Amino acid sequence: MDLNEQQAVGQRLRSARETLGLTQEDVAGALGIQRTSVIAIEAGKRNVSALELRRLARIYRRSVAWVLGEEPDAEVAGDNGALFRATAELSPEDKEQVLRFAEFLAAAKSQQTPKPRTRTASTRPFVDGD
C-alpha cells in the first residue's frame, strides 16, 4: 500500500471512529495496542496488519472493502450517520423498536398521495354581506 492509500485508509478509519463517537483510546483498548499506534494509523504513518484491518472493520461496523475504499460512503454520509450514532448504544430490543417505527413511517409515507386542492364554497374568502 503506498503512502496516499495508507493516508486514505487512515482518514476513513478516523471518520468511522468519529461517526460512532469512539475515542482513540477506545479503539486502542479494543485492539490491544497503544493509543499512539491508533494516532499513527489514522495519520497514515503506520501500516495496518490484516488482522488489525479486520478487527477495525468489525469495531466500526463496516466491511473491510469499505475501509480500503472499495465501497462507497453511503452509510456515513448525511443524516444516516447521525441516525447511526444516535442508535449505536441502544439495546437490541430498543433498536428493534426504532426499526419498526422507521418501517411504519416509510410505509405511511408511501401510501400518502397528495390530494389536489379544489375551491369549495366553504373555502372562499369572506365577502361582506355573506
Query: How confident is the prediction along the chain (130 residues), in pLDDT tens digits per residue?
Result: 666 899 999 999 999 999 888 999 999 999 999 999 999 999 999 999 999 999 999 999 899 999 998 887 654 445 566 677 677 778 888 888 888 888 888 888 777 655 555 555 545 554 555 5
What is residue 127's three-state secondary structure?
Answer: coil
What does pTM read for this prediction?
0.57
- Quote the pLDDT of residue 21: 87
